[in-house]
Amino acid sequence: MADTAQARRAMVDSQVRPHDVTDLRIIAALLEVARERFFPPAKRALAYLDAEVPVAGTRALLKPMVFAKLLQAAAIADGDRVLDVGCASGYSSAVLGKLAGSVVALEEDAALARMAGETLSELGAANVSVAAGALTAGWAQGAPYDAILIEGAVEVVPDAVTAQLKDGGRLVAVIGRVPMGKATLYRKLGGKLTAVPLFDAAAPLLPGFAKPAAFVF
């Protein structure tokens, strides 16, 4: 891609800003982080498409608009500790690192976790640490978190993950399978979790987050 800075600007101006993403910190982070660096070389020309772009197998980065709107809903502050569930190649964690105090980038695919760690290190994301483990278990070693982002669609949010939220913490995810789900904001208040639907969104289903099959007589 000849001019990646121009491509990032076009992504923000045509895909993100028109969808009511007004947080200037998010806009700045999206313009700063080189999204193409988080793809294998053969796929870097696809980095700024208005779509979920695969990075390996069935795993993909969220559509830029969906990702940006989830970030805005999560209302991440400078000092927040954030868990990024399913970071894949690490792009989402790099952006989160520009917004939060510290980020745990959780990934269960060994090759993706390695790619994330290498790329984040190359880009100097010193406040982001990569953790290898089951996505559905979260990362209790770093809990509690002010915010949790789930980087893909889920049919259920495991109790093990929501238990790692601070009181007053926020969790954002796309609930439901392709072709259509609902971006949802969860808040923990007084130990109880409330859910607020935000907007229609589609994303690839993360492994392990499908509803258990119902028993049929």
pLDDT tens-place string over residues 16-52: 999 999 999 999 999 999 999 999 999 999 999 999 9
Q: Could you give the number of structural domains in the chain?
A: 1
Q: What's the mean pLDDT in 120-127? A: 97
- Supply the CATH number for residue 118's domain: 3.40.50.150
In a domain, 146, yes or no: yes
Higher-confidence residue of 117 and 208: namely: 117
Q: Which amino acid is located at 73 in the chain? A: A
Q: Considering the chain, what is the average pLDDT of its residues? A: 94
Higher-confidence residue of 52 and 106: namely: 106
CA pair distance 32, 167, nearest whole angstrom:
31
CA-based max dimension of the chain: 59
Q: What's the mean pLDDT in 204-208? A: 89
In a domain, 85, yes or no: yes
What is the full DSSP assignment across 73-127? HHT--TT-EEEEET-TTSHHHHHHHHHSSEEEEEE--HHHHHHHHHHHHHTT-TT
The predicted pLDDT at position 202 comes to 87
In a domain, 193, yes or no: yes
Could you tell me whether strands 59-61 and 53-56 are parallel, antiparallel, or unpaired per DSSP bridges?
antiparallel
In a domain, 105, yes or no: yes
Nearest to 180 by CA among 153, 198, 207: 153
pTM for this predicted structure: 0.94
Task: Check whether 216 has a pLDDT greater than 60.
Answer: no
In a domain, 216, yes or no: no
In a domain, 161, yes or no: yes
pLDDT band at 1 (very low <50, low <70, confident <90, very high): very low
Q: What's the mean pLDDT in 66-94? A: 98
CA pair distance 107, 134, nearest whole angstrom:
7
The predicted pLDDT at position 80 comes to 98
In a domain, 207, yes or no: no
Q: What domain range includes position 142?
A: 4-201
Could you tell me whether strands 128-132 and 59-61 are parallel, antiparallel, or unpaired per DSSP bridges?
unpaired
Q: Work out the end-to-end distance of the chain between its first and last CA atoms, rounded to an integer number of angstroms.
A: 56
